[in-house]
Amino acid sequence: MGEYIITGNKKLKGTVTVNGSKNAVLPILAATVLNGSVNILENCPEISDTKTSIDILKHIGCDIETENKTIIVNSSNVKCAEIPSELVKKMRSSIIFMGPLLTRFKKAVLSHPGGCELGKRPIDLHLSAFRKMGAEITEENDIITCTCDKLSGCDITLDFPSVGATQNIILAAVLAEGTTVISNCAKEPEITDLCRYLTKIGAKIEGGGTSEIKISGVEKLKPARHTILPDRIEAGTYMIMAAATGGKVLIKNVFPHHLSVLSDILSKMGCKIKTTPSTILIKAPSKLNNIPFIQTLPYPGVPTDLQPQLTALSAVSKGMCSFEETIFESRTAHINELLKMGADISLKNECEFTVKGVPCLYGAEVSAKDLRGGAALITAALRAEGVTHVKNSCHIERGYENIVENLSGLGVNITLKNSSDVV
């Protein structure tokens, strides 16, 4: 296992350019299965989850070429609708291949992605929607088999605006017979980006980015070229890191309106933020003031994917902040690790906790338990006195491209030591 070694207490200064969005590229890579044709995807992030998606596409028979941040997927020779469990287990979002495979090949076989670090993470909303569209689904020995003679459009109301379920249903509906209307669907910008790509390949979709999406099934799709939108979570993470260190950072290749809620929080805490249509300049005083309450919510609310980083920021700010995580039932694994660095956090239950800012954190040996929790530990390490070792770098590599180069460019003393080097 690799580890990041970070010497703290340095103000971040300089410019960082955001990469393409992880949560946009993964469903779009899965969607390339639909058109049986050539797809040119630009601005793809070079992260391990992208590599896992490419491995899945190769496994089912796609030809793939990659050059810099462009991935060319030719899905004309796909011949297999089964994804082996070792690939599904690597990345929970492999479940997003179910919709495209089912609608194009009338069959999809995947192992259950299972629960993971953030709680149970069921897929009942995905499966019940597929059943309503006409699929037969059996689950045996951890293997989910979906088959159908045809998929038919229908009205689906989600109990919760799940990002993954919304994406999977849209993907299944593109080649289904008739019209599908998804109500109470997710409105995240990554859903809008998926709809934009699907429209380019010939899908008929209305309402992407609103809480009701209508998909009229088509028979044939065409090739397309698409540029993946910038990663708002990566951008938000660098904003929080700048804020935690009293830094001044210009963030490029970002859509500031995707981060309005974070900008509001950071401004209230004392940061000065200036935006242009594609940049955010953040300037932070040496110590911020906590706001009383932060609650994660579906977009456009505070993203759950920024909650751990905001927890770390609160830990080094003045005053108290209560957090409520409403998206995942257990997204608190970073808290124990922050305590090792001297943070003052009391957990009420798995979803609610209070952070009392301390004068300073101290370098320690900590371990990333998940992707965003790992980013929170790096955030804390940047502000801590002394040297912090953040173990399990593999979690962070799933979602942050070139984090060592980016933070070094902002003046941080950070190195990544690979497992073979670690004693």
Residues annotated as part of the active site: 116
Q: How far is the CB of 129 from ligand UD1 (least distance, A)?
A: 9
48 lies in the site for ligand UD1, by CB under 6 A: no
Q: In this chain, which residue has its C-beta nearest to ligand UD1?
A: 164
First to last CA, the chain: 10
Using rule CB under 6 A, residue 350 touches ligand UD1: no
**Min CB(62)–ligand UD1 separation in Å:** 19
Q: Decide: 415 and 404 in contact? Cβ < 8 Å.
A: yes
Q: Determine if 311 is a binding residue for ligand UD1 (CB under 6 A).
A: no
Print the binding letters for residues 246-285 with ligand UD1: x by CB under 6 A, - otherwise.
----------------------------------------
The DSSP code sequence of 262-322 is HHHHHHHHT-EEEEETTEEEEE--SS-B--SEEEB-STTSB-GGGHHHHHHHHHTSBSEEE
- 322 to 148, 167, 294, 347, 361: CA distances (angstroms): 48, 32, 6, 10, 19
For the segment 93-112, give every residue that binds ligand UD1 (CB under 6 A). 93
- Asked if 234 interacts with ligand UD1 (CB under 6 A), we say no
| Region for residue 43 given its phi and psi (left: phi exceeds 0; alpha: psi -120 to 50; beta: otherwise) | left
Q: Is the peptide bond before 308 cis (omega within 30 degrees of 0)?
A: no
Which of 50-58, 123-131, 132-140, 344-352 is the region at the interface with ligand UD1 (rule: CB under 6 A)? 123-131
Smaller CB separation from ligand UD1, 299 or 353: 299
Q: Which residue in 122, 139, 220, 276 binds ligand UD1 (CB under 6 A)?
A: 122
141 Cβ contact list (under 8 Å, min separation 6): none
Within 316-411, residue ranges assigned H as helices are: 333-340, 371-383, 393-397, 403-409
CB atoms within 10 A of CB 268: 12
CB of 158 to ligand UD1, least distance (A): 9
When binding is defined by CB under 6 A, the residue of 156, 169, 280, 327 that contacts ligand UD1 is 327
Is residue 237 a contact residue for ligand UD1 (CB under 6 A)?
Answer: no
* Smaller CB separation from ligand UD1, 256 or 399: 399
Sequence letter at residue 165:
A
Q: Under the criterion CB under 6 A, does residue 236 sit at the interface with ligand UD1?
A: no
Closest distance of CB 165 from ligand UD1, Å: 5
Select from 101, 163, 195, 254 the one that contacts ligand UD1 (CB under 6 A).
Answer: 163
Distance separating alpha carbons of residues 251 and 245, to the nearest angstrom: 15
Instruction: Tell me phi and psi for residue 4, to 5 degrees.
Output: -95, 135
Which residue, 238, 183, 173, is CA-closest to 213? 183
In the range 7-36, which residues lie near ligand UD1 by CB under 6 A? Answer: 23, 26
Under rule CB under 6 A, residue 304 binds ligand UD1:
yes
- Residues at the contact surface with ligand UD1, assessed by CB under 6 A: 23, 26, 93, 121-126, 160, 162-165, 304-305, 327-328
